[in-house]
Every structure is written in C-alpha cells, then in structure tokens.
Structure 1
Amino acid sequence: MRPLMLASASSLALMCGPAFAADATADLPMTAPGFDWTGYYAGLQAGYGWGQSEITTTEGAPFSITPDVDGGFVGGHVAGLWQFDQAVIGGEADLNYSSAEGTTESGLGSTFGTDIKWFGSVNAKAGFALDRLLVYGVGGVAFAGIETSQISGAAFTETKTNVGWTVGAGVDYALTDKFIVGAQYRYYDFGSEHYAAPEPFNDRDQSVKLNTVGINLSYKF
C-alpha cells in the first residue's frame, strides 16, 4: 500500500510541476524596456564660438584682411526623433543670440571688424542609441546675421543675412524619461556676402567660418 501511495504522490508532483512553473513565470515582473528616443523635443543651449572672417575689397586697390572672431552664444532648439532598433534619425532646428566678434587693423591704420549678431540652422540628425546614451552626427543649412565694419576717421557698418552650411557631432544622455542633457561640436561656413560701401570706403566681400562647442538641455514631450 505504501509503495502505491509514494508512486501516486510522485506522479501528482510531476503533473503539477509544469503548472506551478507556468504560474510562477507569469507572476514575475517583465524586464523594463530601454529608453525610447522617439519623440519631440524643445530646449536651450549655450556655448562658445571661435573662427575667422575674411574681408576682401572689390574696388580700388585690392587687398584682404582676416579678423579673428570669438565669443559666447545662447539660444533655443526644437527637434523630432524616431528610433528604429538602435538607429535614431530625425530633424533639428536652432536659433542663437551671439556675441562672437573681432577686429583687426590694416597697414593703413583702418580698423576692420566682423560681428556675428545671431546664427541658426535647420538640420538632419542621425545617431546610434545605447539605451539612455545617444551618439549622433548632425548637418544642414546654416544662416547668420553678420555685420561688417570699418573705422578710418569716418565709420561704416552694414549687416546682412548670410546663408551657408554646418556639420557637427554630439552626445546626449537621458537623465530621466523627460530631461536630456548633452554636448555638441559644430562647424559653420556662412558663405560670402557682398557689401556696397559708401565713399571713402571700398566695396567688399566678407566670408565667415565659425567653430562652436556647447551644452544643451532638452525636454521630451
């Protein structure tokens, strides 16, 4: 009788084991998914820029002069990103107030200056996500309000909107599901603009190139 009872108990345990295992598995919490970069963003950025302007006269005695420019910037940005596995693609636009400027003196004693009053860009963005870390490249169309100036007894200033291109790279980190911090390097080529100067100044072309490094804080909607 006792061997029969033991055999029955063993059979019951074997039959119930899978059911108990299934119930236990069902009660375990699911592993939390990784951070999803898909979404819309808005935020602020600030940093420092440095570069060079080239001013070339287009009438009279030809010459060129190259003021160095540098200074800080602060601005805002908006972006939209979509994640596919670990690939992230999207678009971003930014606009910045700038204090980057510089002057240099010619051999004849005139002071030439360049002042980047504001700049911005509209970009494509693509990167690789490692959970909450995003490493990316960015590039697109750049534009800026740039002033040219000259002081030679009298003074001449004129501001135009330059259009060019930009490329860069950066890294973002999601502190929470809503707040993202990051750092970015950008190179800007704002192209060249022609300035018609009154007497006694000469007409000129001015081109500007700028490097920037900055930090950013974004909110994900």
Structure 2
Amino acid sequence: MKKITVSVAMLALSAGVALAADLPSRKAAPILPPPPPPPPMWTGFYAGLNLGGGWSSSTINSSGMTGYVSPATGNYFILPGNTQGGSNAGGVVGGGQIGYNYQFGSNIVVGIETDFQGTSMSTGGMANHILYPDPDSNGFLIPLAPGGNRGVALNWFGTLRGRAGFLITPTLLVYGTGGFAYGQVSGGPFNGSNVRTGWTAGGGVEWMFMQNWSAKAEYLYTDLQTNTSSGVFGFSPGYHHHPQFNTVRAGVNYHFNFGGAGAPVLAKY
C-alpha cells in the first residue's frame, strides 16, 4: 500500500512540473538601446547660385560738378551742381554664394557665407541746377549740362555673413544672417563710381530636398556708407543719402558633405 501511495505522489509531482513548464514566462521584455541620432547632414561646405530682385529704401540724391557759362561774355565756370534722385532704385539681382555649416545635435545649425551679386538697380534723376549770379552781368550763369537721367546705380555688391538657424525638421532650416557688406555705387557721368562698405542683415529658409541639394529663399537689408572721396577739382561727389536697399532672392546649393553625412534616414514602419 505504501508503494502505491509513493508512486501516486511521484506521478502527481511529475505532472505538476510538466504543467508549469507549459505556462507562459513572466520575465520582463529585454530593454533595447535607443536608436542612434540622425547624422549631421548639414555639416560641411556648400556652393550655389541665386537670382532675385532689389529695391532701394529711400530716394537717393547725388551732387556733382556742372559747367556754367556767362551769357554776357562767354566765360566758362566749373561749379557744384545738384542731381535730385527720381523714383526709388529697383532691378534684378543675381550671383553666387559659398559657405560652411556646422550642425550641433539634431536641430541647431551655424555657419558662415560669402556671396557676390551683380545688379541692374538704378534710379533716374533730373538735373536740378543751382542758380549762380553772373559775375559779368546782372543775370545768371547758364548751365551747360542738360537735364535728364543722372541718377544713382548700384553696379554690384557682396557680403560676408554669419548664419544661425533652427531645424524645424531634419531637412527644413529657418535661419537669421548678418555681417559685412560692400558694393560699387555710381552717381552719373560727372560723379564717377566708388566702392562703399557697410552692413547687412536678414533671414531665410532652406530645404534639403534631396541628398546633397537644397533650395533657399532669403531676404537681406543692406546699408552702405556715404561717400567721402574727392571728386572732380577736389569737390566731393558725396551722395546725400547713403545707399540703403532690400533684396529678395531664391537659390540652390550643392552640399559637398566631406564628412560622410548623407541624406536623413527615414523611419520604417
């Protein structure tokens, strides 16, 4: 009888062990490491082209030398004249840019960019001659230069700027920019041209639409200093209002990505 009881107990114990082995495990799921951050795809050198338009912020006036003659004796005089700027300058702006970006983490991008632009921006002007009394008679001297277009033009300009921006998405950058500016301004046939320096500031958006390629839209406000150089016969053809102008342009950049960073890795579902 004892043998039968022991056998039954062993059989029950074996069945319990087998049943426990068939039950689901209560162990916690393994903790996987977080995925690596996306590569800094904006870091590296880039170069590109742009095209847009520009317009001056205020009417530009210039002053220069004008020839006068005495109607009484025919004596000839060189005296300061005055050119009043017409409508605000406007025209096409186009050129190229090169730069370098450095991406901090997943959403901060800083860099430096230089660009050079040719422009067709110019304003018409009407010769507003000063009335000078004729020393040879009781009348006035007659200006020899006729009225007409003697306006001010911005022939070209360039900038050297810092950039800092925030990545809304891995491929969409919103940024601000500002720095040094320079440009050649001409003031009509009697005033010649000269290179001015100043500053510029603005902002824009840039979209990395495919590997190594981005498109951008940008606005800049530029302020160049008043001319201080001497002109004809020692008279300074300084512009009464220094050039201040706006530019809006669109462009495309190629990113060289020498560091090996490529296009963003899209999540798989």
The TM-score range, normalised by the shorter chain, is 0.7 to 0.9
Matches within 5 A, 1:1-221: 1-10=14-23, 13-14=24-25, 22=30, 30=35, 33=38, 36-51=41-56, 52=58, 54-57=60-63, 65-67=84-86, 68-85=88-105, 86-108=107-129, 109-130=147-168, 131-150=170-189, 156-194=190-228, 196-198=230-232, 203-206=236-239, 207-221=242-256
| 1:62 Cα deviation after fit | 7.7
Counterpart AA for 1:5: A
Q: 2: CA distance between counterparts of 1:120 and 1:79?
A: 13
Counterpart AA for 2:111: G
Secondary structure, in 3 states, of the residue corresponding to 1:8? helix
Larger Rg: 2
| 1:106 Cα deviation after fit | 3.3
| 1:110 Cα deviation after fit | 4.9
Counterpart AA for 2:85: T
Cα distance change on mapping 1:53 and 1:186 into 2, 3 Å: same
Per-residue CA distance 1:118-168 (angstroms, 9 max, x = gap): 111001111111221111111111011221104xxxxx2512111111011
Per-residue CA distance 1:180-217 (angstroms, 9 max, x = gap): 11101100111111454447xx6420221110000010
The answer for unaligned runs of 5 or more in structure 2 is 1-13, 66-78, 130-146, 257-269
What's the C-alpha RMSD, in Å, of the aligned pairs?
A: 3.0
By percentage of residues, which structure has more strand? 1
Q: 2: CA distance between counterparts of 1:186 and 1:203?
A: 29
The answer for unaligned runs of 5 or more in structure 1 is 151-155
Structure 1 contact 146–159 (Cα < 8 Å) conserved: yes
Structure 1 contact 35–177 (Cα < 8 Å) conserved: no
Cα distance change on mapping 1:189 and 1:195 into 2, 3 Å: same
Q: 2: CA distance between counterparts of 1:214 and 1:164?
A: 20
Structure 2 contact 85–126 (Cα < 8 Å) conserved: no
Count the aligned residue pairs.
207
Q: 2: CA distance between counterparts of 1:111 and 1:196?
A: 23
Counterpart AA for 1:185: Y
Q: 2: CA distance between counterparts of 1:43 and 1:148?
A: 31
| 1:54 Cα deviation after fit | 2.8
